């Protein structure tokens, strides 16, 4: 990959500087580019990493890929519905993980070829005139002042000489991986553990097995992983014993000996790589200090067992992107960026802990312990509910934000979302579910509009804020003051109702309102089960507020307060009077 930016000026300014062109940095740049922001990405390498690393891509990440418009370029490098089978030392299946849900619009698990998907993210940046990627630029120093960041990077020229360049920005995001210089420079702790267990990774082309799925070998003699990937790639991972050296286990003859139980003729394989690595399980103490932030592996390192390293970086970018865009555009105060750590850190830690636990189950080497595990699995498989818990991946902790850009659905308290709806109103007391949807990701069914049929919800409503009302027009149930603030926020006003009513609604509702028909019934069921017919949806598809329509104005005010919103609060005499009254009334 040629570095076409060696002729850039010695000094360059942009709104946001991203250090590191790994997956988190590339996705963050795509999100910011989608929102029209001015971004510079600095990468110390001369090109993207081209060897395989991550192998699992989940539905949340695919939804973000959809948001930035890169589904068509990513899909060819994925395997949907990536089924995982946990097998014991005798090869007997003791657990199957095969989730069938498409709650967020995509299959829950995909295998993928990371270099190809990362390349798609990189090439997607060419769509944006204000986003640039500079390879060969190693950041050596960063100075922060009250107004922004000045980063000094060095570039080695073709003749071997070194050139120093300076970059000015409002914010810097370090996405340089687990050894992140940004995190170290800021003195941020990196808490957790790095287990001494080492693993040998073997990637081959022209998959000699041809089976499309994943096998986790809980073999006490030597735990292993066998993964079918797109483009006919097969990966094996073998746990190494303490007395095995890296030189020994990467020797072709030794690798052949490890593979003899898996393929008929190891010597005939076409190897892509043989590499030793160690799992890490760490989370940074904070994801932000001043005008500098960290994301991806710089903020957390995941053991590989749940395939969540790449996906956790995508979640960081998804959470941070719209917040940075809001701040640099002047729509929100700088305090909004504090919610990035508040919302992301605990979930990242939960994923690390789950991965560690899952790994400990797989890599049991004591025969007695392994036999006990296998017996327990056999018993659990006799109970449909327990079996479904593993098969449908219900053990995976879904993000739920308790604090951040939220409004409590019962009290309208800003910045907080309690787990349950506690109002004693009849619609709430009689609901099928009193679990609050606030702080959770909103589902993505297919809908119909006047312009398109059977499209995914996000493609219909756009990639910024949305107000969704079931069965009614937002302009009919909210006062003009609230509507004015929603317009300033840039929110799309949406009415979702049964497909049978769509033609009527399109004729009689305000043309400002996007009318969507629920032809699958999935949205009706969601609203039937929950007493929250009004939903305020954030750009990252998390629910900021959900309420009865009469609580809409107070809920909106609480959300805007929680995000340190600056626009639309003093643009009229009515707002000035409201503000004065709030200060006068004890």
pLDDT, tens only, 263-285: 999 989 999 988 898 878 899 99
Q: How far is CA 396 from CA 58, 82, 266, 299, 320, in A?
A: 11, 15, 35, 20, 22
Lowest mean pLDDT among 310-324, 389-403, 569-583: 569-583
The confidence score (pLDDT) of residue 576 equals 41
Residue 188 lies in a domain: yes
Encode 66-88: b = buried (16+ Cβ within 10 Å), e = exposed: bbbebbebbbebbbbebbbbbbb
Residue 574 has pLDDT above 60, yes or no: no
| Amino acid 3: pLDDT | 44
Q: What is the pLDDT of residue 569?
A: 40
420 and 505 both lie in a single domain: yes
- DSSP-H helix ranges across 381-492: 384-391, 426-429, 457-461, 474-477, 480-489
Domain membership flag for residue 93: no
CA 417, 61, 517: angle at the middle one, nearest 5? Answer: 70
Domain boundary among the residues 262, 278, 294 is at 278
pLDDT greater at residue 372 or residue 225: 225
Point out the least confidently predicted range of 177-191, 431-445, 571-585.
571-585
Range 234-261 average pLDDT: 91
Please tell me whether residues 290 and 263 are part of one structural domain: no
| 515 in a structural domain | yes
The answer to whether residue 396 is domain-embedded is no
Do 188 and 203 lie in one domain? The reply is no
pLDDT at 174 over 70: yes
Q: What share of the chain is helix, strand, coil (3-state, %, to 5)?
A: 35, 25, 40
Which of 350-354, 449-453, 577-581 bottoms out in mean pLDDT, i.e. has the lowest?
A: 577-581
Q: What is the CATH number of the domain that holds 213?
A: 3.30.70
| Residue 586: pLDDT over 60 | no
What average pLDDT does the segment 139-155 reach? Answer: 96
What is each CA distance from 277 to 39, 103, 180, 238, 513, in whole angstroms?
33, 34, 18, 10, 53
Q: Is the pLDDT of residue 575 over 80?
A: no
The residue ranking higher by pLDDT, 92 or 286, is 286
Residue scoring higher pLDDT (176 or 51) = 176
pLDDT at 4 over 50: no
- Quick check: 583 pLDDT over 50? no
Return the closest-CA partner of residue 401 out of 290, 319, 313.
Answer: 319
270 and 300, same domain (yes or no): no
DSSP states along 81-120: S--EEEEETTS-EEEEE-----TTSS-SEEEE-HHHHHHH
pLDDT of residue 1: 41
Residue 360, in any domain of the structure: no
- The CATH code of the domain that includes 441 is 3.40.30.10
- Contact by Cβ (8 Å): 218, 226: no
Compute the Cα dihedral for 8, 13, 15, 20 and give only its sign: positive
Alpha-carbon distances of 316 from 61, 299, 309, 428, 582, rounded to whole Å: 10, 9, 11, 33, 37
Q: Are residues 296 and 439 in the same domain?
A: no
Mean pLDDT of 334-342: 97
Q: What percent of the chain has pLDDT over 90?
A: 65
**217 and 244 co-located in one domain:** yes
Residue ending a domain, among 278, 309, 331, is 278
Identify the pLDDT of residue 160.
Answer: 81
> Does 408 have pLDDT greater than 50?
yes
Contact indicator for 495, 516 with CB cutoff of 8 Å: yes
Q: Which of 48-62, 83-97, 362-376, 418-432 has the lowest mean pLDDT?
A: 362-376
Q: What is the pLDDT of residue 87?
A: 85
Is the pLDDT reported for residue 166 higher than 60?
yes
Q: Please indicate whether residue 473 or residue 158 has the higher confidence score (pLDDT).
A: 473
Side-chain-side CA neighbours of residue 505 (13 Å): 27
**Residue span of the structural domain in which 443 resides:** 403-584
425: pLDDT confidence band, cut at 50, 70 and 90? confident
Kindly state whether residue 227 falls inside one of the protein's structural domains. yes
Residue 32 has pLDDT above 80, yes or no: yes
Query: What does the pLDDT look like over 468-518, one tens digit per residue?
Result: 999 999 999 999 999 999 999 999 999 999 999 999 999 999 999 999 999
Final residue of a structural domain among 254, 278, 302: 278
Task: Give the pLDDT confidence score for residue 196 in this predicted structure.
Answer: 64
Residue 319: which pLDDT band, with cuts at 50, 70 and 90? very high
Band (195; pLDDT cuts 50, 70, 90) = low
The dihedral built from the CA positions of residue 189, 190, 191 and 193, taken in this order, carries a sign that is negative
Integer Cα distance of 441 and 101 in angstroms: 14
pLDDT at 486: 97
Specify whether 128 is located in the same domain as 244: no
Domain shared by 203 and 314, yes or no: no
Parallel, antiparallel or unpaired: strands 11-13 and 162-169: parallel
Tell me: do 238 and 317 sit in the same domain: no
pLDDT in tens, 196-243: 678 899 999 999 988 888 888 888 888 888 999 999 999 999 989 889
Residue 495: inside a domain:
yes
Domain total in the chain: 3
Q: Which residue has the tokens 């509009």?
A: 449
Question: Does pLDDT of 63 surpass 60?
Answer: yes
Tell me, what's the pLDDT at 220? 84
Rounded to whole angstroms, how far apart are CA atoms 506 and 60?
31
Whether 178 and 219 map to the same domain: the answer is no
Specify whether 338 is located in the same domain as 234. Answer: no
Q: Which residues of 246-280 are buried (b: 16+ CB within 10 A; e: fewer)?
A: eeebeeeebbeebbeebbeebeebeebebbbeebb
Please check whether residue 403 is in contact with residue 415, taking contact to mean a CB–CB distance below 8 angstroms: yes
In a domain, 368, yes or no: no
Q: Is residue 58 within 8 Å of 187, Cβ to Cβ?
A: no
Any residues with CB less than 8 A from the CB of 247 and at least 6 apart, and which?
Answer: none
Q: Are residues 246 and 347 in the same domain?
A: no
* Residue 577 clears pLDDT 60, i.e. is over it: no
Q: How many CB atoms lie within 10 A of CB 309?
A: 25
Higher pLDDT, 476 or 355: 476
Q: Please report the pLDDT score of residue 92 as a whole number.
A: 85
Mean pLDDT of the chain: 88
Residue tagged 């555009």 (tokens): 329
Q: What is the pLDDT of residue 86?
A: 84
More confident residue, 175 or 214: 175
What is the CATH classification number for the domain harbouring 43? 3.50.50.60
Per-residue tokens: 171: 């914010």
Identify the weakest region by mean pLDDT among 338-342, 367-371, 432-436: 367-371
């Amino acid at each position: 990959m040629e570095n076409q930016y060696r002729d850039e000026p010695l000094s360059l300014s942009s709104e946001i500087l991203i250090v590191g062109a790994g997956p988190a940095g590339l996705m963050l740049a795509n999100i910011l580019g989608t929102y029209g922001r001015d971004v510079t990405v600095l990468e110390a390498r001369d090109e993207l990493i081209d060897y395989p690393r991550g192998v699992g891509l989940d539905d949340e990440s695919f939804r973000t890929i959809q948001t930035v418009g890169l589904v068509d370029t990513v899909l060819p490098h994925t395997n949907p519905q990536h089924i995982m089978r946990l097998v014991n030392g005798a090869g007997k299946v003791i657990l199957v993980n095969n989730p069938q849900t498409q709650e967020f619009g995509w299959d829950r698990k995909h295998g993928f070829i990371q270099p190809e998907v990362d390349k798609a993210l990189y090439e997607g940046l060419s769509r944006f005139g204000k986003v640039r990627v500079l390879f060969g630029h190693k950041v050596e120093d960063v100075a922060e002042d009250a107004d922004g960041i000045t980063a000094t990077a060095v570039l080695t020229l073709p003749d071997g000489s070194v050139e120093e360049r300076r970059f000015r920005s409002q914010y810097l995001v370090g996405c340089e991986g687990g050894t992140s210089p940004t995190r170290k420079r800021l003195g941020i702790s990196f808490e957790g553990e790095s287990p001494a267990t080492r693993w040998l990774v073997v990637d081959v082309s022209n998959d000699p097995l041809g089976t499309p799925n994943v096998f986790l070998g809980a073999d006490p003699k030597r735990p292993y992983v066998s993964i079918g990937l797109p483009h006919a790639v097969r990966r094996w991972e073998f746990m190494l014993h303490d007395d095995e050296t890296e030189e020994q286990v990467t020797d072709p003859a030794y690798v052949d000996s490890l593979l003899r139980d898996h393929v008929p003729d190891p010597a005939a394989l076409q190897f892509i790589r043989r590499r030793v690595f160690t799992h890490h399980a760490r989370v940074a103490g904070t994801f932000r200090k001043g005008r500098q932030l960290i994301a991806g592996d710089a903020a957390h390192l995941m053991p590989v067992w749940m395939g969540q390293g790449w996906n956790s970086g995508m979640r960081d970018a998804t959470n941070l992107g719209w917040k940075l865009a809001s701040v640099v555009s002047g729509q929100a105060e700088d305090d909004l960026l504090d919610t990035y750590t508040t919302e992301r850190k605990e979930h990242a830690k939960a994923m690390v802990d789950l991965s560690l636990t899952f790994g400990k189950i797989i890599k049991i080497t004591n025969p007695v312990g392994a036999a006990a595990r296998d017996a327990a699995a056999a018993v659990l498989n006799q109970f449909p509910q327990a079996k479904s818990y593993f098969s449908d991946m219900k053990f995976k902790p879904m993000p739920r934000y308790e604090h951040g850009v939220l409004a409590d659905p019962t009290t309208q308290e800003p910045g907080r979302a309690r787990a349950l709806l506690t109002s004693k109103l009849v619609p709430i007391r009689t609901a099928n579910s009193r679990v609050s949807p606030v702080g959770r990701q909103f589902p993505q069914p297919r809908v119909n509009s006047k312009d398109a049929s059977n499209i995914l919800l996000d493609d219909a409503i756009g990639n910024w804020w949305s107000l969704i009302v079931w069965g009614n027009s937002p302009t009919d149930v909210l006062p003009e003051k609230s509507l004015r603030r929603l317009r300033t926020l840039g929110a799309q006003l949406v009415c979702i109702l049964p497909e049978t009513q769509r033609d009527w609604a399109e004729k009689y509702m305000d043309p400002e309102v996007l009318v969507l028909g629920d032809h699958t019934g999935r949205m009706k069921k969601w609203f039937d089960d929950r007493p929250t017919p009004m939903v305020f949806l954030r750009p990252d598809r998390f629910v900021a507020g959900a309420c009865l329509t009469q609580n809409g104005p107070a809920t909106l005010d609480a959300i805007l307060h929680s995000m340190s919103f600056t626009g639309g609060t003093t643009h009229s005499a009515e707002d000035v009077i409201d503000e004065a009254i709030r200060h006068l009334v004890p």
